[in-house]
Chain A
Amino acid sequence: NAGVTQTPKFQVLKTGQSMTLQCAQDMNHEYMSWYRQDPGMGLRLIHYSVGAGITDQGEVPNGYNVSRSTTEDFPLRLLSAAPSQTSVYFCASRPGHSSYEQYFGPGTRLTVT
């Protein structure tokens, strides 16, 4: 198993551009989440999904969209990038009911100029 994969690893955007961060897992996990981590801080939840077709907002959802059309993929879309979205983005997954350990992807470092 490749586990949780994220692409790209690094990205530089200009203000106002849009892009999609990709996240995939090959472990048939039901639950997937997106977090951002700013320097010197813990992670903050952006959006999460408890299964294909089901998503919900986390702590800091503004400026981001998600969809979950398959169990494997959970892309994060930045609609109109802003410098405040400069951060490291982590995707995570876990199996689902009664299995709580989360597996994190390697992260995407995004800079918005």
Chain B
Amino acid sequence: ELKVEQNPLFLSMQEGKNYTIYCNYSTTSDRLYWYRQDPGKSLESLFVLLSNGAVKQEGRLMASLDTKARLSTLHITAAVHDLSATYFCAVDMSYNTDKLIFGTGTRLQVFP
């Protein structure tokens, strides 16, 4: 059974600081997703990582994938308040079927 674990579950960080969210999964997979969710809102797609060593960046967020270690990271650079949200990773259970298993999420709060 595929399990997806995120840590930390909660993260309170000061503006301007850097931090990393980790996503570990238990079996091999060919796709990993990162999403953002604001309170009471739907999910917004951030990144789709498709291969070992994949790295994608958008603004202050950078995601990477190590399929051998079954680990993805979401790195936050010089955090700003607007990044406050819950971040989820999700892993595809099987090839090209959208059977995604989600992590429990990391609630990020950025304060001045």
Contact = CB atoms under 8 A, between A and B. Distances in A.
A45 B77 CA distance: 32
Contacts, number: 58
A31 B95 CA distance: 13
Interface in B31-81: 31, 33, 41-45, 48, 50
A17 B43 CA distance: 29
Contacts of B48: 100-101
Highest count of chain B CB atoms <10 Å: which of A56, A97, A104: A104
Contacts of A56: 97
Contact of B31 (A50, A90, A100): A100
B98 interface: yes
A58 B99 contact: yes
Highest count of chain B CB atoms <10 Å: which of A33, A40, A44, A102: A102
A28 to B, nearest CB: 16
Given A90-B43, A101-B45, A102-B45, A44 B102 contact: yes
Contact of A48 (B31, B44, B88, B99): B99
Nearest to A94: B98
A111 to B, nearest CB: 15
Given A41-B105, A43-B90, A100-B31, A31 B98 contact: yes
B8 to A, nearest CB: 14
Interface of B: 4, 31, 33, 41-45, 48, 50, 88, 90, 96-105
Closest 9 CB pairs of A and B: A42-B102, A104-B43, A104-B42, A43-B102, A100-B48, A48-B98, A42-B104, A101-B45, A106-B42
9 contacts: A33-B98, A42-B88, A43-B88, A50-B98, A59-B99, A90-B43, A101-B45, A103-B45, A106-B42
